[in-house]
Structure 1
């Protein structure tokens, strides 16, 4: 605090110093305040009454849903919450939760280049995929699709410094096992840009034009990565083949992905299917399961079960939710959200920060924006979205108008043409509810 001094003349003309009193400290209303544990909990009757009008919308189709109090875990409302339904991308909530419970937040995935048997294959180098789909062939001075992604150019520089003069490139994809496409995936989704065959090394998640939002995906992502390395090394890309690195091969180069927590953020924000499948395989490896679709699903479900989350009715074939063969209950989704928002599973707390914000970020950036309708929930609701043909889902948290934090999960199957808007209106009603006696 700075005090101001004033000079004044005394009775005899002498000067005296008078110190002005310090001003009162400035105060300001904080922009962000914590919720209180004493906010009233909605009554079951009040919540049911409030949601009734929106539940009558025929565009919701078949709905499974549950709403709970975040602090206590008490179920406040449910409708067919134990019915297995197609969850679409809300399935990624389970993948993210299992990753947070199993892996280190700073975990990185390594992509290597090793030397083949130089006596039998002189000059042959092997690109060994470790499960990082974010590797990029973009020049070092250009942004890649994934922030913090490793670069082919870095691998090439390290190989050149190793002293080996490359003559051919092979690609080792043996880290992953099983099929590269899950049951219930539409092959047209590759050209549609939603997914690529899941291989242990890829460029920009298999995107052919990584700087383009709606880029199509490659049908041969691992070979594309090998060809990019060959070009960077001055090797004929047409000669790239698959192969298996020799045991105890000499490592020539290695690069690393961004930390897990950053990759989870990218996965959840834009609902990245390829990222989800690869992170599911990281969970599988940590739990000593095969790094395959089935192994990842088994690992995710097993880990959540040990965290006392009810996974009854879960029948999943992938980690992303893209398959139409997936089945999941609203109860399981809500229990994951409650575990993250409640006091019992602090390791899951980061899951809340990974959720898109209504009207603000990720897949919710253009939703919940209608004033007087669902716009009241903008900024107050966070949720993972799920969308397939005739399927809409939301799972997340919301602070109601009384200041109580609620968790929720809604799954709508066989939805009508405005099914997504109907689901948003239902979820937004939780914000304006209050619903106390």
Structure 2
């Protein structure tokens, strides 16, 4: 997550590795109280009806649907399952660069009292409103823009829309869409425990879930203890396996409070404080810390792991899985990653996509897998480079046209598996990284939903806005060479807000 996105005074640049904390202090996670998951509201809240319901809908969405939502509605999950059994739809082969017209658009508009042929925003109107705003000094030395009418799939405005730019955290939209497309919204990441045939060795096996917390780890320990009691084991050797991930663990930006070393095994994203989002001191050894915490919980359950402490290792031949913990559904992880701009989850999503594609779970493997998956979705990826899944790497490159087309595709009823891309977008003035960027009286409050992006000299905003006649518009605005993050954010917010008025 980029620091400016949560109102911190610094931005996502490399910082000095935090001083190591005593293990006992880190173990404070055992006493934390986590927010309870919210209830899902109707995912259709982001379509044309938002123009009528306005702030009432937005406020209700914030109160009832947080970043820990359970994911897609059951009907959508059932539909995705049916599509997968039938071989899927629109995932393979050469697809269009923009989605087909949304079948529900005309009926929705008609229900709102608009004529069935109500038009979307005219290109001339958008040129008149966006052109001057794109010249704002706050947008730095270069800026690009793309706007797509979701109901028709038509790109109704473009300025440098095919020019690759550094996207910062807006690249998480692409990472999320690739993971949802490859794995499905109901996929869960498993952390397991394996016990040797002689009941003398226990191995904690990381599956790549950065959100594993106290409850999950304790459940694994208790399940393991039950299995060991059945085998009459009194003392065991504890090992931990992180072999699912390959390549360097440290992000290219170096030790940083915005992301932990990427590991297949970690607890609470390796955070050393009580936070669950934003920058925080991180452990330099997430897997080792998780294993030591697991050893303590095994002790609480009556299992002696000896004085040597856990060591890296892999389960031997004949070992059996005795306990499994599953993460929240992938849709919920995506929502949390987008709402809070969570870098650790985003990197996990890229690696899970790589694993599904049969590639190494590394920065390089994630880059190739995300690119391939977006190509299969028919998106214009020419010029794109996905150096990481989070957007912290300045080598990332995407175009405004690709991001806008992807957001439009995610709203297409033919792709219910991508719905969490929209439900995870922060709501202007209400939630996530847009919670403090729009005042209650600002145009766009409640009707703009967008992913933010912030690095030093780079600012971006990509999402949706409810435009004229209740039309849903997908947009992407990318800027570089900015000198003031605050001025850049104000300029980007003004661009998004301008889409909510337009000429009729």
What TM-score do the two structures reach when normalised by structure 1? 0.83
Within 2, Cα distance between the matches of 1:229 and 1:274? 21
2:161 to 66, 77, 81: 81
Q: 2:447: which partner in 1?
A: 380
Within 1, Cα distance between the matches of 2:173 and 2:329? 18
Q: Does 1:196 align with 2:263?
A: no
Q: 1:429: which partner in 2?
A: 498
Question: Could you tell which deviates more after superposition, 158-167 or 125-134?
Answer: 158-167
Within 1, Cα distance between the matches of 2:170 and 2:194? 38
Q: 2:250: which partner in 1?
A: 181
Within 2, Cα distance between the matches of 1:332 and 1:114? 43
Q: 1:42: which partner in 2?
A: 121
Q: Does 1:310 align with 2:380?
A: yes
Q: 2:237: which partner in 1?
A: 168
Q: Does 1:157 align with 2:237?
A: no
Q: 2:462: which partner in 1?
A: 395
Q: Offset at 1:50?
A: 1.0
4+ runs deviating over 6 angstroms: 29-33
Question: Could you tell which deviates more after superposition, 195-204 or 289-298?
Answer: 289-298
Q: SS state of the match for residue 424, structure 1?
A: helix
- The question of whether the paired residues in 1 share the 8 Å contact of 2:188 and 2:329 is answered with yes
- The question of whether the paired residues in 1 share the 8 Å contact of 2:146 and 2:155 is answered with yes
1:366 to 428, 436, 440: 436
- The question of whether the paired residues in 2 share the 8 Å contact of 1:168 and 1:230 is answered with no
- The question of whether the paired residues in 1 share the 8 Å contact of 2:334 and 2:420 is answered with no
- The question of whether the paired residues in 2 share the 8 Å contact of 1:82 and 1:330 is answered with yes
Q: SS state of the match for residue 461, structure 2?
A: strand
1:91 to 167, 171, 185: 171
Listed one character per residue, the Cα deviations across residues 395-420 of structure 1 (whole Å, up to 9, x for unaligned) are 11111143221110011111131111
Instruction: Tell me the C-alpha RMSD between the 2 structures.
Output: 2.1
1:100 to 169, 175, 180: 180
Within 2, Cα distance between the matches of 1:274 and 1:90? 15
Q: How many residues align?
A: 384
Give matches, 1:268-279, under 5 Å.
268-279=338-349
**Structure 2: any 5+ residue segments left out of the alignment?**
1-51, 58-106, 111-115, 300-304
Within 1, Cα distance between the matches of 2:461 and 2:236? 51
- The question of whether the paired residues in 2 share the 8 Å contact of 1:92 and 1:319 is answered with yes
Q: 2:205: which partner in 1?
A: 128
Question: Could you tell which deviates more after superposition, 312-321 or 335-344?
Answer: 335-344
1:332 to 386, 391, 402: 402
- The question of whether the paired residues in 1 share the 8 Å contact of 2:444 and 2:497 is answered with yes
- The question of whether the paired residues in 2 share the 8 Å contact of 1:58 and 1:416 is answered with no
Larger helix proportion, structure 1 or 2? 2
Question: 1:384 and 1:113, CA in 2 relative to 1: closer, same or farther beyond 3 A?
Answer: same
Q: SS state of the match for residue 251, structure 1?
A: strand
Q: Does 1:208 align with 2:272?
A: yes
Larger Rg, first or second structure (1 or 2)? 1
- The question of whether the paired residues in 2 share the 8 Å contact of 1:59 and 1:416 is answered with yes
Within 2, Cα distance between the matches of 1:228 and 1:237? 14
Listed one character per residue, the Cα deviations across residues 153-181 of structure 1 (whole Å, up to 9, x for unaligned) are 11111121112334332110001111112
Within 1, Cα distance between the matches of 2:138 and 2:167? 17
Q: SS state of the match for residue 239, structure 1?
A: coil
Question: 1:178 and 1:237, CA in 2 relative to 1: closer, same or farther beyond 3 A?
Answer: farther
- The question of whether the paired residues in 2 share the 8 Å contact of 1:231 and 1:237 is answered with no
Within 1, Cα distance between the matches of 2:149 and 2:292? 53
Q: Offset at 1:129?
A: 0.5
Within 2, Cα distance between the matches of 1:299 and 1:356? 26
Within 1, Cα distance between the matches of 2:236 and 2:411? 55
Q: Does 1:414 align with 2:481?
A: yes
Q: 1:232: which partner in 2?
A: 297
Within 2, Cα distance between the matches of 1:113 and 1:349? 33
- The question of whether the paired residues in 2 share the 8 Å contact of 1:228 and 1:237 is answered with no
Within 2, Cα distance between the matches of 1:369 and 1:253? 48
Question: 1:221 and 1:89, CA in 2 relative to 1: closer, same or farther beyond 3 A?
Answer: same
* More relative contact order, 1 or 2 (CA 8 Å, 6+ apart): 2
Q: Offset at 1:229?
A: 0.8
- The question of whether the paired residues in 1 share the 8 Å contact of 2:175 and 2:350 is answered with yes
- The question of whether the paired residues in 2 share the 8 Å contact of 1:125 and 1:170 is answered with yes
Q: SS state of the match for residue 162, structure 1?
A: helix
